[in-house]
């Protein structure tokens, strides 16, 4: 009979362990920056660190195979940081805006406002010469939403996102539009010809700054900044699943949380009908400015985060009630890191990861932009405003596995009498026979 006690105890305890892993729990953590102490809220068992605040307007990041970290910036600088990522050197300084970078064997891709550039590059390299950088494929330039995000996809193709210039700009990713007006979505680079050409992957997104692929399904998801002209509460910000040829409606249509509504701010007829619009897979409250997106692989952080998407919310400049920038700054949407949780490859809900970047009086510690999972399994993110630097969130305490040494004298559970009796029997038996340890390890 006693041989079944470990199995029975494990069965009784299993639901509680599963619920603990699935449900976020949070603790407050103090972080002192420039002599000022902030209280942030983080997941229990994690620690938030400021690695450096000596970056100039940092944006998106790229880890190299040797562990080096490259960071683009709004200041024209491309930074290189070596572990432990507390000191940065300038790899190259450019006249344009190197928002993001992507490494593939033997070369570095640099996404600037007017084009995707490339240069020969090897991990460990400490400097890039200007004359070694050449244009790979031109992009529409111009003002408004000038960031360009480049990533290498699971299919080894080059993907790049860009936004339209304003709230209601008649811009669309289609060859029927003038080149300078081909904006608002995600492109993929066709390199099968002598001169690489951009092809539309997904369109109708106002400003999809961040995107990444689900590690299990390889489905592509992107964040999207909605317009500012409809007030403080509408429309919600998007987290959208992108498929080849998908159309997401903007600026002709806006999602109010349930249906797609025609936006009267643009008179020109939409390029595709309402019925062809892909609704967002998840949403954030309006004016949150979602930025970088990073999925958590099975080897990173812990089971609470794995296969879910971390999204950087930069927070709003708009204030209540109208969304104007001239109101009470304490009413702005606060910056945060949030997580879109998935269940069997489908979006389930959105929960906090890190909050507390904005005090009750409206003062801000940081505005997160880029997010990425490091080779150490930790989450790294940049802030380009207030604190201009690099942060890291890492797991410092994991759930202790069940073993003879940590079976308590009394187990607090709804089945206290039964479980405590089993625990007593197990301790008694193991004092007589030392056979349980190999069984419990499995």
Domain identity same for 283 and 407: no
Domain identity same for 14 and 85: no
Domain identity same for 212 and 359: yes
**169 closest CA partner among 86, 233, 237, 250:** 250
DSSP annotation string for 223-274? EE---STT-SS-SPEEEEEE-TTEE--TTTEEE-SSSEEE-TT--SPPSS-G
Domain identity same for 366 and 415: no
Domain identity same for 172 and 283: yes
**167 closest CA partner among 235, 246, 259:** 235
Look up the pTM and report it. 0.85
Query: What's the domain range around 7?
Result: 1-33+403-442
Cα–Cα distances (Å) from 329 to 100, 167, 211, 236, in that order, read 30, 22, 29, 20
Domain endpoint, select from 395, 416, 434: 395
Domain identity same for 263 and 233: yes
Domain identity same for 167 and 305: yes
Distance CA 92, CA 112 (A): 13
What is the SS3 assignment for 211? Answer: strand
Domain identity same for 407 and 390: no
Domain identity same for 27 and 96: no
Number of domains, the chain = 2
Distance CA 18, CA 89 (A): 44
What digits encode the pLDDT tens for the residues 192-241?
999 999 999 999 999 999 999 999 999 999 999 999 999 999 999 999 99
What is the SS3 assignment for 178? Answer: coil
Domain identity same for 159 and 300: yes
Domain identity same for 281 and 421: no
What digits encode the pLDDT tens for the residues 79-134?
999 999 999 999 999 999 999 999 999 999 999 999 999 999 999 999 999 999 99
Write out the H or E segment, with its range, that includes residue 21: helix 5-22
What digits encode the pLDDT tens for the residues 284-296?
999 999 999 999 9
Distance CA 308, CA 373 (A): 12
What digits encode the pLDDT tens for the residues 128-157?
999 999 999 999 998 899 999 999 999 999
Q: In this predicted structure, what is the pLDDT of residue 143?
A: 84
């Amino acid at each position: 009979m006693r041989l079944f006690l470990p199995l029975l105890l494990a069965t009784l305890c299993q639901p509680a362990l599963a619920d603990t892993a699935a449900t976020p729990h949070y603790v407050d953590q103090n972080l002192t920056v420039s002599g000022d102490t902030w209280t942030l809220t983080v997941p229990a068992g994690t620690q938030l660190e400021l690695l450096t605040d000596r970056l100039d307007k940092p944006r998106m990041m790229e880890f190299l195979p040797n562990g080096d970290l490259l960071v683009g910036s709004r200041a024209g600088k491309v930074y290189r940081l070596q572990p432990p990522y507390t000191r940065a050197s300038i790899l190259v300084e450019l006249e344009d805006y190197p928002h993001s970078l992507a490494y593939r064997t033997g070369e570095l891709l640099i996404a600037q406002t007017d084009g995707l550039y490339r240069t020969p590059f090897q991990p460990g390299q400490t400097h890039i010469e200007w004359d070694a950088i050449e244009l790979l494929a031109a992009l529409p330039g111009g003002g408004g939403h000038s960031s360009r995000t480049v990533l290498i996809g699971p299919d080894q193709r080059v993907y790049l996102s860009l936004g339209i210039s304003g709230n209601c700009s008649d811009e669309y990713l289609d060859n029927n539009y003038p080149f300078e007006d081909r904006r608002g979505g995600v492109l993929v680079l066709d390199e099968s010809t002598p001169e690489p050409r951009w092809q539309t992957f997904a369109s109708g997104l106002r400003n999809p700054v961040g995107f990444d692929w689900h590690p299990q399904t390889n489905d592509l998801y992107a964040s999207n900044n909605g317009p500012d002209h409809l007030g403080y509460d509408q429309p919600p910000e998007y987290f959208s699943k992108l498929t080849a040829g998908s159309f997401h409606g903007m600026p002709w249509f806006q999602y109010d949380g349930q249906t797609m509504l025609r936006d009267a701010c643009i008179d020109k007829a939409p390029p595709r009908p309402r019925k062809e619009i892909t609704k967002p897979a998840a949403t954030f409250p309006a004016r949150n400015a979602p930025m970088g997106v990073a999925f958590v692989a099975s080897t990173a952080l812990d089971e609470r985060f794995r296969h879910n998407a971390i999204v950087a919310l930069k927070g709003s400049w708009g204030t209540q009630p109208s969304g104007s920038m001239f109101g009470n700054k304490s009413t702005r949407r606060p910056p945060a890191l949030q997580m879109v949780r998935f269940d069997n490859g489908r979006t389930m809900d959105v929960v906090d990861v890190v909050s507390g970047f904005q005090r009750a009086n409206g003062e801000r510690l940081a505005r997160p932009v880029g997010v990425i999972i490091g080779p150490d399994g930790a989450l790294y993110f940049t802030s380009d405003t207030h604190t201009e630097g690099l942060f890291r969130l890492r797991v410092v305490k994991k759930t202790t596995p069940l073993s003879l040494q940590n079976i308590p004298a009394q187990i607090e559970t709804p089945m206290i009498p039964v479980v405590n009796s089993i625990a007593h029997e197990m301790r008694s038996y193991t004092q007589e026979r030392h056979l349980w340890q190999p069984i419990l390890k499995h």
